[in-house]
Chains A and B, each alone.
Chain A
């Protein structure tokens, strides 16, 4: 049976959920398709970061700043719309504290924060003497610290489920366990829908929000984009007393790791992972200790060298945490793009196809502004930020897009499709 919708969103992760909500709110008939369960892949394997602190001035920071403005509004609206049905999304504007551990690191962090301040980011240098007051358990061996009060956190699965629930109240439909098989095109080659495992879906607009699998979906629909999985690991500890760690605390090399192109560096482990230290508490009590970045396709096997490096860096920042048991580790796949910018907008090669993907590790934070931007572009409203740097066929991606490079994903063992 053929089904019609104004817009079909592929992927019920946080990006798809946020886009569905925005578009359904604009009185479009929206269907979200997910080949598995909603909010179960990349969205369920991250820390829930909403950050400006790790972004250098440029288009991504602009998008992040828009998101930081939009999130509190979204949280309030979700509360009103959903009331008691709202899962607790654990919105917490806890603020970030970025620290350096060397003299060179201190200089780099200072310069980075200065540039951010010029674009309006609230980046507050902290006197080393004031650091213990902010983070009593932090190592005294740090050389610089910058506080970012705008940084926040949500529980990402709860947030995605809340956005989806809101989308549903606005009339959107969500079809889980429904995979896209291929395009439906008209004579001109324009996309007119998708074939799925649940039959054909007719629609003039298909939005590819499939996260790390967006490269596959795009190829299936005839317009490859260079999104490839970048593996990340996070450790979860047993509960610790409240206020053991107050901010999202990370060392300044995190900034370098995020921007790194994947080459060898001092911080690369034996199995080729980039790691940096990110330590933060959660509302439920456990600490999250991250994180690593590694290009291994969809290989989800555990690497002890990566976990050990993450732990070593965390203990260097918080020596008192050495005795805290790690009870779980989870790994996910981030949607990585060669130039480290998300891909947002219409695909000129296949009319009707849009993308909202490639947010790497920042998708939770960037979701609400991405969704707003998508809605504004589709409805031809003035955009919240300049969308041009994110367009799918931008010069920065030309090489990767034309050669199809980057799509090195290969299915492996157990749950390549978590």
Chain B
């Protein structure tokens, strides 16, 4: 029987696990969170659906449209209770070792600050569905307590029902801002505005370039989801402003005000439009960054847009390794599920003419078209660097300012390119605990812009150690004289965990810990 390991328990991973089980494989799902479902279902799966009474209906605006969410909840239930599946929740994959028979998965299970159990998995096929993390571009004051990434704010609201503030502004770019605002409203915050950096013309051009497709999406569920959020905003009286952004946050110990400005098409602020708005929370998201460290470690081909290249069966360049979800291009939950289904089916060796696959492929095609429109409506404006001041922190872990990066870029002769690796190592930008997950995109953009053209010697997302591992834990893996703790077995569990179907059914409170990499949420702590 084929052993399929799925890394990531969000929509893509659930889809992959479901399809692989249906195709007859043994499946192990690895996820760092306590419950399957990823950010999308955060809070919804804290108790096993089959055991729990129906949860009280959340306020309407807080609810994601029923179809996708309900289907995913049922899928989580199926995967969790299937006799051929093993769930490794609270488990971080810290390394992938490429080898002759496909990659070996190295994982640690347990709390990062407690005892953890090492796992070594040798699957026949590997589906990588690690998802994405928030992209937040730096702005003056973004390190103040009270400034959150949009994803962190949503996680707190959805997972714990906690609003990050009483009076919040949501800013950045992309359709994701709407569900964040909805979740905040649902948790009791007064959302004073949703500020979309893209201008109305750009939005219209991107979203409406193919009006027929938008109608078709609306008829399906995607456009409906968006329309639902927009309707929710209107109902709650939350202003939605385009061509507008938060360009600074102010406060002494905590954010007290933000500067809001109109933005030109390239996102540079329109002079004279700045105004102060009193808030106690700022939630900012400029998009998402695919989590590429595991695909890179596996040896997958990464395209120039920093996404994993896959074929129609979601195969990567590496035999036996598949990728699905946001790592193959940011596209939302529906696309992720569809890609996951295709990947899981193919990974399990399912027939390529199966109706399940055809349906998933059809959904995938439709949502890829949707994703393409989203990207054309919400590209990062090249002028965002205009709102940086010389003392704006770009790398928060190592406290490196925009001015320090400028100086490092200017250090070489005129017109000479600079290597990103050299900039990082001379300024320490990107070398802290988050390993550039927070600042990598901004840093790359800054260097590219300020040093005319950078000779990129090492992408910021190459991280052979994909999650921190304690020196002692690593030492524990040292097995001299072939006494390896890791036979050629495909069984995922070490002796003391074998056959144990862990925590999914244990219920309990969902942790607020973010999924996968230890991106420091921006409380400014």
Q: Which residues of A contact B (CB under 8 A)?
A: 36-41, 44, 85, 87, 155, 157-158, 161, 164-165, 168, 173-174, 176-177, 235, 237-238, 269-270, 284, 286, 289, 301-305, 307-309, 311-312, 314-315, 321-331, 413-415, 418
Contact = CB atoms under 8 A, between A and B. Distances in A.
B422 A311 contact: no
Given A155-B425, A311-B478, A322-B471, A173 B457 contact: no
Given A311-B471, A325-B468, A36 B462 contact: no
A37 B433 contact: no
A322 B470 contact: yes
B350 interface: no
A157 B412 CA distance: 13
Contacts of A155: 425-426
Interface in B115-170: none
4 tightest Cβ-Cβ pairs between the two chains A and B: A37-B419, A322-B472, A311-B474, A37-B455
| Interface SS, A side | mixed
A308 B458 contact: no
A330 B416 CA distance: 26
Interface in B92-108: 95-98, 104, 106
Range class of the B interface residue count: 35 or more
B319 to A, nearest CB: 13
B299 to A, nearest CB: 5
B422 A40 contact: yes
A326 B108 CA distance: 14
Given A37-B418, A174-B413, A413-B299, A324 B470 contact: yes
A176 B455 contact: yes
A418 B484 contact: no
A304 B106 contact: yes
Contacts of A315: 471-472, 475
A177 B455 contact: yes
A155 B424 CA distance: 12
B113 to A, nearest CB: 9
Contacts of A326: 465, 468-471, 474
Given A87-B426, A157-B425, A418-B458, A39 B470 contact: no
Given A85-B411, A270-B484, A325-B468, A311 B398 contact: no
B479 interface: yes
A87 B411 contact: yes
Given A284-B431, A328-B435, A304 B97 contact: yes
Given A289-B471, A326-B469, A413-B299, 8 more contacts: A157-B426, A176-B455, A235-B474, A286-B431, A304-B477, A312-B474, A326-B471, A328-B465
A12 to B, nearest CB: 9
Nearest to B456: A37
Nearest to A165: B411
B93 to A, nearest CB: 12
A308 B97 contact: no
Give the one of B407, B471, B477, B482 with max A CB within 10 A. Answer: B471
Interface string B397-432: 010000000011001110011111110011010010
